[in-house]
Structure formats: C-alpha cells, structure tokens
Structure 1
Amino acid sequence: MERKKISIIGVPMDLGQARRGVDMGPSAIRYAGVVERLENLQYEIDDLGDIQIGRPEKVSDIPVDNLRNLKAVAEASEKLASTVHETIESERFPLVLGGDHSIAIGTLAGVAKHYKNLGVIWYDAHGDLNTADTSPSGNIHGMPLAVSLGLGHPTLTKIGGFDPKIKPENIVIIGARSLDDGEKELIREKGIKVYTMHEIDRMGMTAVMEETIKYLSERTDGVHLSLDLDGLDPHDAPGVGTPVIGGISYRESHLAMEMLEESKLITSAEFVEVNPILDDKNKTASVAVALMGSLFGEKLK
C-alpha cells in the first residue's frame, strides 16, 4: 500500500460505555492539528469527516442482555467497516479517530477483508476481551478484541458478514495492567501474547517492540495498530474515560511508534478514547497527534 496517501475517518462514538464526552474525540484530535501534522510529513490527506452515529431510541443505564446500546453500536460498526474497506480498496491508509474503543469492531471488520493473516497490536491498559457473559459492566468498549476473535453476540461478531476477523496467535497486547478474570482466562486459553507493564518495566520498551515486530512479521500479511490513549499513564494522557495509573510513558510511546514506522509493518491504525471533557487543555488529543507524527515518520533529526 502507498503510505503517502492517508484517509482520516472520524467516529464520534460514545455508546460503547456509559460516560459522555468521548464522542468529541475526533473533533479534539482534528483541533490538535492532525491534518497539518501529517501534511508536513508530505502525506496526501483526505479527511472523510465523521461516520454518522445513530442514537438509541431509549437510553437506559441498564444494558439489555449485558450489552449496552447493542443495536446502535452494531449499526455504526457496519458503516465504519464499509468506509474502511472502501478506503483500502482505493489504496489509501485508513487512520480512524475515536470515539470509544468499541469502534475497533468496525475498523477490524473493514480491514480484515483485505488480509488472510491480519496482525493486531492492541496498545491499551485493558484487554478488551470481555463478552456479555464475562463483562462486569455491559460496556461494549470492553469487548472489541473478543468480538473480532468471533466471541460474543452474533450481531457484533458478524459485522461485515464474516467471522472471525483475526486469529489469537496474531495479536499482541501492549501495556495491559487492568484485566478482568474472564479476560485472563481467555488469554491463557487462546495463548494470546501480552506484554503487561511488568514486562515493559522489566525488559524495556525497545525489547518489547523488537519482539513484537519480529513475532508479527513472521506470521502476518498486514498489521493494524489499535491505540487506546489509556495505554499511556494518566499523567501524560488524562483525558480518557477509564484511566489506570502506572502506564506507559510519553517517551516510551514515541519510541514504540518510531520503531513501528521503521518496521513498515503497520497497514492501518486507530487512536481511540480521547475524551476532551475529562482532559486538561486538549492535552490528550495533542499527545495522540504527536504519536501519530512518530508513527508516520516524524524524526527529531
């Protein structure tokens, strides 16, 4: 794929969880200068605007069948899957801006149509491997990785008309430090590769990324980066809905993005969970844009 052409797709989704504000994430990221940043790196940018997100007929604090806003999330995921698919068909790099992490259901459904062995780097404090049976909250933003493995409600797993989208051996989770019991069990059962903060502290980010790049380059034909800003420590990225202290640092994250750029592995990407209502002067959106700069080749010298 010609990486000099990028299509930006905004997904103002806040229905995958119960906290408002994350639907303004795409606007905050644009306001932080993502288009200008990437144009300065000589990319041709086509901002496709935002996917239209329908509102549920009835907003309830109690998830039905332990799946909050299932119908509205599924409809948005189908729209996003189609847009991502068309973007790749036109030989452009899809860069998706969230919105909560439930949007990965649609992103991966669109991307996976183009790869036999799609790899996924899940840069996140959470595993997002819950199903309705294991989720403590019913929030679908805690389920997208499980859904993409074909686990969960068929309304979600069948987005795009097929499942599964990815194989467990093609996933690497980086930065995990808040995993539910059901997620831990699934990780063990499926043999999913996870670098928790323990491994990052012990090995260093350089070794983690070297291993990740080697591992995925040997078994995949494309790699999607799904970066949740809560993967970073809340000190560096305060504007997220589910912050977990003790996260990846700003500097470590830049190093990770720079190493991914050097590897030329990444074929699609999304940056999610920027919530400007919870932020400090748009700091988290600015961090997201800076990391995108490193991912797309920005260098200090």
Structure 2
Amino acid sequence: MTRKLSIIGMPMDLGQMRRGVDMGPSAIRYAGINERLKPLFDEIHDWGDIPVGRPEVVIDKESNLRNLDLVAEKSTLLAEKVDEVVQSGAFPLVLGGDHSIAIGTLAGVSKHYKDLGVIWYDAHGDLNTAETSPSGNIHGMPLAVSIGLGHPLLTEIGGYNPKVKPENIIIIGARSLDDGEKELIKEKGIKVYTMHEIDRLGMAKVMEETITYLKANTDGVHLSLDLDGLDPSDAPGVGTPVIGGISYRESHLAMEMLEEAGIITSAEFVEVNPILDEKNKTAICAVELMGSLFGEKLL
C-alpha cells in the first residue's frame, strides 16, 4: 500500500491571547518538516495553510467566549479539509496554531471511525467549558468540545457530536488542571497520566498501558501533541509553559513506541510560538518528534 502524508497548516491564534502562535506552521516548515519526513513516505503533499486572516478579537456577549464565531468558522474549514484528506487515503498531519484547532481536526477525522481514540499529550486537560473557564479562551476547551460539552457552534461542527467518547481518551503529561477539569475527569472517567505517574512508572510503562488500552477499545487513534507537554527547557516557544514537564528523550520514546504499535491514524502538533522561542528550538523539536512518530530509525 502506498504510504501518503498530507500536511495541513492551521495558523490560528484565535483561541487564546498571546500573538505569534499563528506563525507555528511556518516555523515548523522552516525547521525542515518536508526534508525530515520525505524518506519515510512514498508521497508527501503540503496543502499549505487554511486561510484565517487577521480578524479583530470579539468576545461573545452571551457566553463570554473569545472569538467564538470565528473559531467555529475556521474550525469548519479545517474539518472539511481533514475529511477530504482521510477520504483520499492519506495520513492527515495538522500543524498549529493554538490547541483550539483540535476542534476542527477531530471533527474531520472522527466521522471515519466508530470508536476513535485520542492521545492528548499536553500539560493541560483542555476540558474547560464557558462555565468553568477562567479566561474564556477556547484553546482550553477543545477536548471538552470533542466529547460534546460546550457551545453548540463548536460541538456541532461537522453536523454530529460527540466526536470522541470520554473512555477513549488518554491524557499524557498533565500538570496544570483547573478545578472544573478535575471534576469532569472524575465524572467522565477520563484516563490521565499526570507527571506523577510518568515519574513513578516511567514513560515506557505509561505508553505500554496506553497502547494496550487503545488497541483493545478503538479502531483508530488521533495524536494531539501540544508542545507545552514537554518541559520548557526542551520546548520554550509555547504560550502557556509549565515547568516540570516531559523530557525530550521521554517524548521520543513515546513517539517511537506509538510508531512500533502502528495505532496512530492522524496527528496534530500545536502551540509552537516562534515569537517566544529560542532559535526555532521548539519547532525543530516538533519536527524531530514527527520523525520518531513516523518511523525514523537510528540504525
């Protein structure tokens, strides 16, 4: 079977307040994504960027959500493109952009699976709603939206919800959760490996358990990797860094184990902000992790 990769840039910074993350796709391309992944695929097609433009910040009066209409509009465009890529038989790789882009990615992917699994590799849970969010920033809500909780403009993108069942989600690397998120995790039974579990069990064990669980319960797995899941010493160019994160080497091991398991069917790498970075270090890290995810070997 021909191994095809389709790259989609989503230069959106509408889900939060720190400018610069819209340049994430450009930074990742500049870091050499095509050159790095070319030997690993038969075909690579870069579709360029979904048009986002430079709209002004608008706060929805009823929900207090920042840029609600615009995020819904742009997420719909992304969902349509991802859907098209999946139908073509290619692997969709989306470059962010803030983490609100996952709303569109999952809307485009999950319609092709009965039981889609999601690995949320992130310092945060992104399980807030308008009621629990301290900020009104939608980049803290995409996982909640994808399980059907949130504003209908977001949950109904693609014409269906939920996009994923709570029991099919595994969060890896969490170390900053709001009170409402903690309650929701317990209520919905979402599986979470915090930094405590990673330190105690080791990344190899965490990934073994994750892979075993998802293999048994899902028919496809989406990887949503926020670069702030890594420690800021390895990935400084992110909008919401949290110290004490996953190491560079642990992250490579995680990607290598996912590649060996052969379970990942779509992926996105988000929250690369070159304005906050050091010599494009975070984008380079993202590209190197993609290499491991897609089968790059030392020997």
Alpha-carbon shift at residue 207 of structure 1 (Å): 0.1
* Distance in 2, Cα, partners of 1:133 & 1:222: 31
- Counterpart of 1:177 in structure 2 is 175
SS at match of 1:218: helix
* Distance in 1, Cα, partners of 2:91 & 2:81: 12
Residues 63 and 138 of structure 1 are in contact (CA less than 8 Å); yes or no, is this contact kept in structure 2?
no
Given residue 14 of structure 1, which amino acid in structure 2 is its aligned partner?
A: D
From 131, 139, 142, the equivalent of 1:141 is 139
Residues 98 and 270 of structure 1 are in contact (CA less than 8 Å); yes or no, is this contact kept in structure 2?
yes
TM-score, normalised to structure 2's length? Answer: 0.98
| Worse-matched range after superposition: 265-274 or 33-42 | 33-42
Alpha-carbon shift at residue 40 of structure 1 (Å): 2.4
Change (3 A) 1:3 1:96: farther
Alpha-carbon shift at residue 122 of structure 1 (Å): 0.1
Equivalences for residues 12-31 of structure 1 within 5 A: 12-31=11-30
* Distance in 2, Cα, partners of 1:89 & 1:21: 32
Alpha-carbon shift at residue 42 of structure 1 (Å): 3.8
* Distance in 2, Cα, partners of 1:179 & 1:203: 21
* Distance in 2, Cα, partners of 1:67 & 1:55: 18
SS at match of 2:158: helix
- Counterpart of 2:262 in structure 1 is 264
Change (3 A) 1:63 1:201: farther
SS at match of 1:160: coil
Alpha-carbon shift at residue 3 of structure 1 (Å): 7.1
- Counterpart of 2:187 in structure 1 is 189
SS at match of 1:45: strand
TM-score, normalised to structure 1's length? Answer: 0.97
Given residue 52 of structure 1, which amino acid in structure 2 is its aligned partner?
A: P
Q: Structure 2: 5+ residue runs without aligned partners?
A: none
Runs of 4 or more above 6 Å deviation: none
Alpha-carbon shift at residue 4 of structure 1 (Å): 1.6
- Counterpart of 2:293 in structure 1 is 295
From 215, 218, 221, the equivalent of 1:217 is 215
Alpha-carbon shift at residue 73 of structure 1 (Å): 0.4
- Counterpart of 1:47 in structure 2 is 46
* Distance in 2, Cα, partners of 1:66 & 1:130: 13
Residues 54 and 72 of structure 1 are in contact (CA less than 8 Å); yes or no, is this contact kept in structure 2?
no
- Counterpart of 1:32 in structure 2 is 31
User: Number of residues paired by the alignment?
Assistant: 298
Residues 228 and 235 of structure 2 are in contact (CA less than 8 Å); yes or no, is this contact kept in structure 1?
yes
Change (3 A) 1:112 1:42: closer
Given residue 9 of structure 1, which amino acid in structure 2 is its aligned partner?
A: I
* Distance in 2, Cα, partners of 1:145 & 1:208: 21
- Counterpart of 2:10 in structure 1 is 11
Equivalences for residues 1-301 of structure 1 within 5 A: 4-56=3-55, 58-60=56-58, 64=61, 65-301=63-299
Residues 66 and 135 of structure 1 are in contact (CA less than 8 Å); yes or no, is this contact kept in structure 2?
no
Residues 80 and 110 of structure 1 are in contact (CA less than 8 Å); yes or no, is this contact kept in structure 2?
yes
* Distance in 1, Cα, partners of 2:123 & 2:2: 28
Deviation string for 1:235-274 (max 9, x for gaps)?
Answer: 0000000000000000000000000000000000000000
SS at match of 2:5: strand
Residues 3 and 93 of structure 1 are in contact (CA less than 8 Å); yes or no, is this contact kept in structure 2?
no
* Distance in 2, Cα, partners of 1:102 & 1:13: 8
Deviation string for 1:160-198 (max 9, x for gaps)?
Answer: 110000000000000000000000000000000000000
Change (3 A) 1:54 1:161: farther
Q: Structure 1: 5+ residue runs without aligned partners?
A: none
Residues 168 and 190 of structure 1 are in contact (CA less than 8 Å); yes or no, is this contact kept in structure 2?
yes
Residues 171 and 193 of structure 1 are in contact (CA less than 8 Å); yes or no, is this contact kept in structure 2?
yes
Given residue 21 of structure 1, which amino acid in structure 2 is its aligned partner?
A: G
Alpha-carbon shift at residue 43 of structure 1 (Å): 3.9
Alpha-carbon shift at residue 44 of structure 1 (Å): 1.3
